[in-house]
Amino acid sequence: MNRASWEATMESVQERAAWVAEGVEVWKARARLAALDWAAVGPVRFGDVDVEERSAESDGAAGRPEFDVAGHVLRARRRGDLSQRELAILLGVSQSTVNRYEQPGADLAVGRFAQVLAEAGLRLAVLDETGTEIEPVSAREVRDNGGRRFPAHLDVFPPDQVPSHRISRPRYDRMPTKAWCHHRSTRDCYRAVRADEIDHPTVDELARRRWVLTCRRLEARVIRTAERRLRVAAASVWTSGTSAAILRHREHLARASASSQRAHPDVR
Mean pLDDT to the nearest integer, 77-84: 91
Residue 134 is predicted with a pLDDT of 86
- 211 pLDDT band, cuts 50/70/90, is very high
Cross-strand partners of 93? none
d(CA 75, CA 121): 11
Q: Assess whether pLDDT exceeds 80 at residue 209.
A: yes
pTM of the predicted model, to two decimals? 0.53
Reported as type and span, the H/E element at residue 45 is: strand 45-46
Calculate helix-pair angle for 244-263, 184-193, nearest 10 degrees: 90
Buried (b) or exposed (e) across 125-145, using 16+ Cβ within 10 A?
eeeeeeeeeeeeeeeebbeee
Mean pLDDT to the nearest integer, 98-123: 89
Give which of 83, 91, 121 is closest to 109, Cα–Cα: 91
Report which of residues 206 and 256 the model is more confident about. 206
- Residue type for position 18: A
Residue 118 is predicted with a pLDDT of 92
Q: Assess whether pLDDT exceeds 70 at residue 83.
A: yes
Query: Among 20-24, 58-62, 165-169, 261-265, which is the least confidently predicted range?
Result: 58-62
Q: Which fold has domain 69-118?
A: 434 Repressor (Amino-terminal Domain) (1.10.260)
- Residues of the chain above pLDDT 90, percent: 12
Instruction: List C-alpha distances in Å: 258 to 20, 57, 184.
Output: 57, 19, 21
Residue 251 is predicted with a pLDDT of 75
Report which of residues 12 and 115 the model is more confident about. 115
- Following DSSP, what letter does each residue of 134-172 receive, concatenated? PPPPPTTB-B-TTSPBPPTTS-EE-TTS--HHHHHS--S
Residue 268 is predicted with a pLDDT of 46
> What's the Rg (C-alpha) of the chain?
33
Per-residue pLDDT tens digits for 36-71: 554 554 554 544 444 444 444 444 444 546 788 889
Residue 227 is predicted with a pLDDT of 85
Residues of the chain with CATH 1.10.260.40: 69-118
Per-residue pLDDT tens digits for 147-158: 888 888 888 888
Under 8 Å between Cβ of 109 and 81: no
Under 8 Å between Cβ of 117 and 123: yes
